[in-house]
Structure 1
Amino acid sequence: MSNSQFTLDDLKRILLEGAGAEEGALDGDILDTDFEKLGYESLALLETGGRVEREYGITLDDSALTDAATPRHLLAIVQSHLEGGGRSDLAA
């Protein structure tokens, strides 16, 4: 599937499919909340990255996934890849 946008709703869906979530963990304004506070450790983010790669046809560096501390940062990394930039080292 080739999509040109990766939204917060897309990220929430993939997080839930891959790693689940505690009740209400992904509700509200979570863009700048650390993944760790949301209950997602590095292994869950690597699984999320794999799902994003398969669904969106991009390749993400493992370090980019583990360095993305917040949903906003991960959204920016994925969007950069979708736009052809492919940079994994975007500043938080």
Structure 2
Amino acid sequence: MDRLELTELARILRIWGGEDDCVELSEDVQDLYWIELGYDSLSLLQATGSIERKYDVLLDGELLELADTPRSFLRCVNQVLRGRATAAV
């Protein structure tokens, strides 16, 4: 798998961010800031670690700090995953 989809990101965030205070990720809320969605930096760090283990990649922490919405986070992660897939060819 060389692409992280919104549904998978939502599943991972539910595990690490909890379900009680967080907004369900959907196409409609992809451009809202994490804080508006109820996710804090700790849940994002844990989700990032989970993604790194699952996809066997190292994600740039500085780049992800700029990813302040689900859409920008997915863009950053998928850029790394595409680069890995391209390097393997």
> TM-score, normalised to structure 1's length?
0.79
Shift of 1:27: 5.0
Kindly, what percent of the aligned residue pairs are identical?
36
Q: Is the contact between residue 21 and residue 38 of structure 2 (CA under 8 Å) also seen in structure 1? A: no
Give 1:65's aligned residue. 64
Give 2:80's aligned residue. 81
Shift of 1:80: 0.3
> Where do 5+ consecutive residues of structure 2 fail to align?
85-89
Q: How many residues align?
A: 83
Shift of 1:5: 1.4
> Which segment drifts farther, 15-24 or 57-66?
15-24
> Where do 5+ consecutive residues of structure 1 fail to align?
86-92
What amino acid sits opposite 2:55 in the alignment?
Y
Task: Provide the aligned C-alpha RMSD in A.
Answer: 1.7
> TM-score, normalised to structure 2's length?
0.82
Tell me whether 1:45 sits opposite 2:51 in the alignment: no
What amino acid sits opposite 1:11 in the alignment?
L
Residue deviations 1:7-39, cap 9 Å, x none? Answer: 000100010111213367115412101110111
Q: Is the contact between residue 10 and residue 25 of structure 2 (CA under 8 Å) also seen in structure 1? A: no
